Amino acid sequence: MDVDELLQHHGVDTDQLDPAPPSPSWKEMRDHLALMTGCAICGDTCLSAWVVGATVDPRWVGLCRCHTPGVLSELAAPTVLGGKVGAVHG
Instruction: State the amino acid at position 48 in one-letter form.
Output: S
Cα 56 off chain centre by: 15
pLDDT digits (tens, 9 = 90+) for 23-34: 888 888 888 888
Q: What's the structural domain count of the chain?
A: 1
Rounded to an integer, what distance in angstroms lies between the CA atom of residue 61 and that of residue 78? 15
More confident call, 68 vs 20:
20
Domain that holds residue 63: 3-88
Q: What is the pTM of this model?
A: 0.75
Residue 89 burial by Cβ neighbours in a 10 Å radius (0-12, 13-18, 19+): middle
Q: Is 61 left (phi over 0), alpha (psi -120 to 50) or beta?
A: beta
- Beta-carbon contacts of 43 under 8 Å, excluding residues fewer than 6 positions away, are none
> Residue range 12-30: average pLDDT?
88
The answer to whether residues 84 and 2 touch, using CB atoms and an 8 Å cutoff, is: yes
